[in-house]
Amino acid sequence: MLKTVTTSLWKSKIKRTQIIRLFGSSTKIADDPNAKYEDLSNFANIPVENIRNFSIIAHVDHGKSTLADRILELTGAISRNSGSQVLDNLQVEKERGITVKAQTVSIFHKHKDNVYLLNLIDTPGHVDFSNEVSRSLAACDGVILLVDACHGVQAQTVANYHLAKGRKLAIVPVLNKIDIKHADPDKVCKDLKSLFNIDPFTVLKVSAKLGIGVLEVLDRIIETIPPPQVDRDTPFRALLFDSWFDRYRGALNLMYLLNGKLQVGEEIQSLSTSKVYPVKSISILRPSESQVDCISAGQVGLIACNMRNSKESIVGDTIHLKNQECSAVSSFKPQQPMVFAGIYPADQSKHVALRSAIDKLILNDSAVTVNIDSSPALGQGWRLGFLGLLHMEVFCQRLEQEHGAEPIITAPSVTYRLLLKNPKMIKQLGSEVLELSNAALYPEPFNIKECYEPLVKGTIITPGQYLGQIISLCVERRGIQESSINIDNDRMLIKYILPLNEIIVDFNDHLKSLSSGYASFNYEDYGYHLTNLVRLDIHLNGKLVDEFCRIVHATKAKTVGKEMVTKLKDMIPRQMVQIAIQACVGSKVQARETIKPYRKDVTAKLYGGDVTRRMKLLKQQSDGKKKMRQFANIQVPHETFINVLKR
């Protein structure tokens, strides 16, 4: 009925504001089920069959957070004038207009005279935050697969669908933005049928912005997604699937209960660390915190229990009662980082403050790894691992905004694997395989038997008219085509095997530029494969500068070397002697630039006379500079190291 009314309204060309008023009056909150549970005194006794745990998954900018806003409004969790993207509460999310952190909220909805508890998780859409999606799905029994009715199925849509199907979750397909003029719901439904075998008649059509069809989505969630498969009659056991830091309460842990129940005052224990903690408080997010005394299996709660740092709060850990035997919940494994960068304090006096800020932020982002590192130019710091370049940028932006840190971030790199053949090195390392991302530690070629680099399987969905340019881009980045599929008459899905170090910096930007923004890209780990790597050294007047070294593919050495020496020529200030900047692989020079010295005109005071006087003065100056060049050290300012090493 709602679909028929909506279609007729659009055909009659009624203004958008009139539709909002029309549907605004019909989407009242039935009896406001939230009001019934306002005191939450009976929260733990909600029957399991009346609980639904689900996530919203989609590609970037398909309207996940907007749909979450409408769901919260229709269920009475927030007022209608609360603003847009209520769950995107981080400053970086508001500035960039993207979701970077999965957010959980517990709401109530009345359906066929029964009140249901819905635990909703709004997830990010960018591939760099896929760890947030995978850990969110560990606490869900179903998902809303949201697709833009204008742009159709995108690369991350495909990845998220297979992620949900791999966990055997119920899927509710929903088309968003049907109110936009150039929306084509029928075409997108055909794509869903051809790619995922989803029946077009089961696809819900909504406008999250206007609130059209959102009530149908809530009803479909209750009818399609099964209640959680839990057991309340066994001892307490829970999955820790998110955490963050509070300056007054320490680490706060978001847990999904699989067995039994938990009350304030009980003592819980971590299966990973075996440490015991008293439960100080239990809250549910609605979306603000609401205190409860007890929660039961099938529910999601925020537990404060005197955890103090990121080493104690481990995402994916199993929590149980003190001294109670328990088996691990193996439903979530954190993803391995793919991009690495060095982070250093701008001043070594701020080392402790930056370390504290990183520790607190890692608690909120379990995908980041930290290892101690040092640089002769930048001092003591850390080597951090991220899932992608955007992940790195957002993490560093949060360091600055949320903790007031001023970090120096080096250029991103990936981890390579080297198979060694020097028995002495193998004995020192205790292994014949060396993993490194710092070029300064790259061994001499005669010590290396084989080199391996990480590859990814990239999925690109693009209109057919841009196919030739995109293939050229992939070939330029050393890509190998794996498959090519026609989604429909206009769009194609192509898969490429690509080296990770070729795509982490600017591949997506070039892809968007070539396709006028229509192509989408997603990638997944494809393991390590044999390759030909070399270390590109930078010499200043014949002296090696370790801080500027890079690990590159042999075919890219000349190109990268030319870029490096050109950049250094612009950044290193002129000095009294000539500076030769050389990019070398071993003893072979790949590129060179020269910085001319300051030159004083020693003949300026001559007012005539024999030419031999002029030649004598010039020879004295030349001999003096030769002598200076033998003993002089090239002074490279600290700022130059920072500008060259950072992103």
Could you tell me where the beta strands, DSSP code E, fall in 322-415? 339-345, 369-375, 379-386, 407-409
Q: Which amino acid is at 534?
A: V
Residue 143: phi and psi, rounded to 5, are -140, 155
Spell out the long-range contacts of 469-472 with Cβ–Cβ below 8 A and sequence spacing 24 or more: 469/514, 469/515, 470/494, 470/511, 470/514, 470/515, 470/519
Q: Pick from 566, 593, 572: which is nearest to 582 by CA?
A: 593
Question: Distance (Å, rounded) from C-alpha 309 to C-alpha 547?
Answer: 33
Question: Distance (Å, rounded) from C-alpha 224 to C-alpha 73?
Answer: 22
Q: Is 539 flagged in the annotation as binding?
A: no
Residue with tokens 């999310």: 93
Q: Which amino acid is at 16?
A: R
* 8 A C-beta contact, residue 388 and residue 340: no
* 8 A C-beta contact, residue 268 and residue 255: no
Q: Is 179 flagged in the annotation as binding?
A: yes
Q: Is 351 flagged in the annotation as binding?
A: no
Q: Is 320 flagged in the annotation as binding?
A: no
Residue 360 half-sphere exposure toward CB, CA atoms < 13 A:
20
Q: Is 126 flagged in the annotation as binding?
A: yes
Q: Is 224 flagged in the annotation as binding?
A: no
Q: Is 65 flagged in the annotation as binding?
A: yes
Q: Which amino acid is at 228?
A: P
Question: Distance (Å, rounded) from C-alpha 510 to C-alpha 569?
Answer: 26
Question: Distance (Å, rounded) from C-alpha 355 to C-alpha 405?
Answer: 10
Instruction: Take residue 222 and report the two structure tokens written for it.
Output: 């209750």
Termini Cα distance of the chain: 54
Q: Is 60 flagged in the annotation as binding?
A: yes
Q: Is 123 flagged in the annotation as binding?
A: yes
Edge to edge, the sheet with strand 103-111 lists: 103-111, 114-122, 51-57, 142-148, 170-176, 204-205
Residue with tokens 């745990």: 53
Q: Is 84 flagged in the annotation as binding?
A: no
Q: Pick from 139, 132, 71, 143: which is nearest to 299 by CA?
A: 139
Q: Is 559 flagged in the annotation as binding?
A: no
DSSP type of residue 293: S
Complete DSSP assignment for 262-276: EETT-EEEETTT--E
Q: Is 205 flagged in the annotation as binding?
A: no
Residue 348: phi and psi, rounded to 5, are -60, -20
Q: Is 64 flagged in the annotation as binding?
A: yes
Residue 429: phi and psi, rounded to 5, are -80, -25
Give rounded-to-5 percent helix, strand, coil for the chain.
Answer: 35, 30, 35
Cα-to-chain-centroid distance, residue 227: 30
Complete DSSP assignment for 617-644: HHHHHHHHHHHHHHHPPP---HHHHHHH
Question: Distance (Å, rounded) from C-alpha 3 to C-alpha 619?
Answer: 92
Question: Distance (Å, rounded) from C-alpha 509 to C-alpha 519?
Answer: 11
Q: Pick from 543, 547, 544: which is nearest to 374 by CA?
A: 547
Q: Is 63 flagged in the annotation as binding?
A: yes
* 8 A C-beta contact, residue 263 and residue 279: yes
Bond before 227 cis per omega within 30 degrees:
no
Phi-psi region of 112 (alpha: psi -120 to 50; beta: other; left: phi over 0): left
Phi-psi region of 206 (alpha: psi -120 to 50; beta: other; left: phi over 0): beta
- The sign of the dihedral angle between the CA atoms of 261, 265, 270, 274 is negative
Q: Is 59 flagged in the annotation as binding?
A: yes
Residues annotated in the binding site for GTP, as ranges? 58-65, 122-126, 176-179
Annotated binding site: 58-65, 122-126, 176-179
